[in-house]
Amino acid sequence: MHPDCQYLQDLLHRDIPLTRAMQLRVAGYENHELRLAMPLAPNSNHTGSMFGGSLYSISVLAGWGWLTLRLREAGIDDGHIVIKGGQIDYPLPVVEEAVAICAAPAEEDWKKFETLYRRRGRARLYLDIRIPAPSGETAVHLHGEYVLHK
């Protein structure tokens, strides 16, 4: 496992105990794209598909994890990340392992976020996280507003 992935997985399992029960794992981090995965069995609902709360959790955590790793790369270690809000849609059921993918925002958005945080100690960044269905269509989409503050 890549050292960044191991770092994030250890951090999640230590600081957010729910992630252990969900059997969440860091599946990869390449080219500023983070992938978190979790199996169906411990996250299933009464219909045999993935529980919406688990899907929301892994989506939020994919954004939080992406921001954690990106801040680490930028040498910023004095802030606290919170999700301020977000819009989630569940257009398709998830009936197998869920993989939440958080890709990097536009480079100009990242630079603006980083500059604002370094200057004021507080900044916000919008991240899009998706969980694809086997067909490639989007099964879950979260547009999240993340805030970093000292």
State percent of the chain over pLDDT 70.
99
Confidence at 72, pLDDT banded by 50, 70, 90? very high
Confidence at 145, pLDDT banded by 50, 70, 90? very high
Question: According to the model, what pLDDT value does residue 2 have?
Answer: 76
Question: According to the model, what pLDDT value does residue 26 have?
Answer: 98
Element (H, E) at 94: none
pLDDT tens readout for residues 12-59: 999 999 999 999 999 999 999 999 999 999 999 999 999 999 999 999
Per-residue H/E/C for the chain:
CCHHHHHHHHHHHHHCCHHHHCCCEEEEEECCEEEEEECCHHHECCCCCECHHHHHHHHHHHHHHHHHHHHHHCCCCCCEEEEEEEEEECCCCCCCCEEEEEECCCHHHHHHHHHHHHHHCEEEEEEEEEEECCCCCEEEEEEEEEEEEC
Residue 104 in 3-state DSSP? coil
Tokens of 84: 């301020």
d(CA 37, CA 97): 7
Confidence at 1, pLDDT banded by 50, 70, 90? low
Question: According to the model, what pLDDT value does residue 41 have?
Answer: 97
Question: What CATH number labels 3-149?
Answer: 3.10.129.10
Return the domain boundaries, the chain: 3-149
Question: According to the model, what pLDDT value does residue 34 have?
Answer: 98
- Given a contact cutoff of 8 angstroms between Cβ atoms, the answer to whether 98 and 38 are in contact is yes
Who has greater pLDDT, 4 or 113? 113
Tokens of 137: 């269509």
Confidence at 142, pLDDT banded by 50, 70, 90? very high
